[in-house]
Structure 1
Amino acid sequence: MLAVGRDPDRLGALEVEARAAADVGDATAGDVVATAAREHLGGLDGLVNAAGVVAFGPLVDTPDEVVEELFLTNVVGPLFMLRRVLPLLEESQGFVVQASAVVAEQPLPRMAAYSASKAALSAAATALRTEPRRSRVQVYDVRPPHTETGLASRPLAGEAPRLPAGKDPAAVARRVVDAIEAGQHDLGPEAFG
């Protein structure tokens, strides 16, 4: 397994075969990932695009740079990444998981820009499902309900509303793995129980 993240110290604490420090918002991050995958793993079987940031509050009060960062991290960066690693996934006939969120299909007030960014990622996954079909790359659109990742406690702007207890991240990850094994390409919030 190749773990990728912005923080080299946090990456160093993970027990994985390989690590690559890269920021998903950097268009060249995918080049770093592709190089590390080839050097350390001999290729790439799958990509899980699970980077994300959130912001809360009315759109009118959301600074331009926050809207820009939401789309860069939640949509543009994952697409940059996929463009760079798709040749490796075509070689392995691998898979891509685009981790979106329940707000992609159930947008919430005071989360307009975040909801829109997640909806855009989900739309990209739907469109991409047919693009690499000849190369047999499988594309999964995953939209879990609120999950206790700590994301809501680190917003780019605003304060999180009172949220019910979220799903266990390990249970969500297990469900995604089960979906990959079963070939379930479209996992909406209802699929997470």
Structure 2
Amino acid sequence: MEINGARVLVAGATGVLGGALTAELVGRGARPALAGRDRARLARAAEDCQGAPTVLFDAYAPDSCARAVACAVDALGGLDAVVTVFGTVAFGEAAVVGDEVAEHVMAVNVLAPAAFFRAALAIMQPGSMIVAFTGVVAERPQAGMADYSASKAALSAWLGAVRREARTAGIRVLEVRPGHLDTGFADRAVVGTPPPLPAGGDPRDVVRAVAEAMAADAELLRTAPDGTPLVERRAR
């Protein structure tokens, strides 16, 4: 897709990674709409994007995700891409993490992105794109992170099925599957403390790669063992 002039909804634009991706896309000429759950942080993010339109959503309320898409369409006159860059994490052995926490992780990491994309797919035109961040745990589940790993694997599976459905309509589905990044995300767990983790990668490298993958109509962005982002035109 052509990023210059593209109308892009970034859900999670007030986070470290979402903010970096928004800045990267704006630097390439995109017209963003910013979605988040904190009104004050959204206002500050909009100032950095020359007054980009903003919309509130609650990841635990799928109907608010669909409304965010509708509001972005009204504000921008349509959408060429929808990107979800939000999530939550829980640490602890599966026998210890409670059912309420597991439900919360699934709701935020799977059902909320799906709600954004369902609403977007209903109105998008050929040449448009949906983009979701999953993570390396989607393919390599980690001990002490069973529910988080399962949520990312579930979203990855959902994207894989939707990708096949959307191809016939000319809509691309890009999954971003990075390794551990230096964003402070692991320190904001809903429960538990993170296990020893390797040094996090630079999120700026990932967002640059995401923008390149979007421009190339790629379907998968993953991280090589040495931390280098790898773009795959077609997901396996």
Structure having the larger proportion of residues in helix:
1
Asked if 2 retains the 8 angstrom alpha-carbon contact of 1:34 and 1:88, the reply is no
Q: Equivalents in 1 of 2:129, 2:93: separation in Å?
A: 36
Secondary structure of the structure 1 residue equivalent to 2:153: helix
State TM-score, norm by structure 1. Answer: 0.94
Q: Equivalents in 2 of 1:179, 1:85: separation in Å?
A: 20
145-154 vs 28-37, which moves further: 28-37
Give the CA deviation at 1:117: 0.4
For 1:188, which of 222, 226, 236 is the aligned residue? 222
How many residues align structurally?
Answer: 192
For 2:145, which of 86, 108, 111 is the aligned residue? 111
Q: Does 1:5 align with 2:36?
A: yes
Equivalent residue number for residue 71 of structure 1: 106
Give the CA deviation at 1:25: 2.4
Give per-residue Cα distances to partners, 1:79-113, cap 9 Å, x unaligned: 11111121232x36310111100001111100011
Q: Mapping of 1:31-70 within 5 angstroms?
A: 31-70=66-105
Root mean square deviation, CA, Å:
1.5
Give per-residue Cα distances to partners, 1:2-25, cap 9 Å, x unaligned: 111111111110123111010122
Equivalent residue number for residue 166 of structure 2: 132
Q: Does 1:173 align with 2:203?
A: no
Give the CA deviation at 1:32: 2.1
Q: Equivalents in 2 of 1:98, 1:186: separation in Å?
A: 10
Q: Equivalents in 2 of 1:28, 1:75: separation in Å?
A: 14
Counterpart of 2:61 in structure 1: which amino acid? D
Counterpart of 1:37 in structure 2: which amino acid? A
Asked if 1 retains the 8 angstrom alpha-carbon contact of 2:126 and 2:169, the reply is no
Equivalent residue number for residue 25 of structure 1: 60
Asked if 2 retains the 8 angstrom alpha-carbon contact of 1:145 and 1:192, the reply is no
Unmatched tracts of structure 2, length 5 or more: 1-31, 231-236
Give the CA deviation at 1:152: 0.3
Equivalent residue number for residue 136 of structure 2: 102
For 1:85, which of 110, 120, 131 is the aligned residue? 120
Q: Equivalents in 1 of 2:120, 2:90: separation in Å?
A: 29
Give per-residue Cα distances to partners, 1:37-64, cap 9 Å, x unaligned: 2221101110111211001110111011
Q: Equivalents in 1 of 2:163, 2:66: separation in Å?
A: 22
Asked if 1 retains the 8 angstrom alpha-carbon contact of 2:33 and 2:54, the reply is yes
Asked if 2 retains the 8 angstrom alpha-carbon contact of 1:5 and 1:21, the reply is yes
Runs of 4+ in 1 over 6 A off after TM superposition: none
Counterpart of 1:58 in structure 2: which amino acid? E
Equivalent residue number for residue 177 of structure 2: 143
Asked if 1 retains the 8 angstrom alpha-carbon contact of 2:66 and 2:115, the reply is no
State TM-score, norm by structure 2. Answer: 0.77
Counterpart of 1:155 in structure 2: which amino acid? A
Secondary structure of the structure 1 residue equivalent to 2:62: coil
Q: Equivalents in 1 of 2:79, 2:70: separation in Å?
A: 10
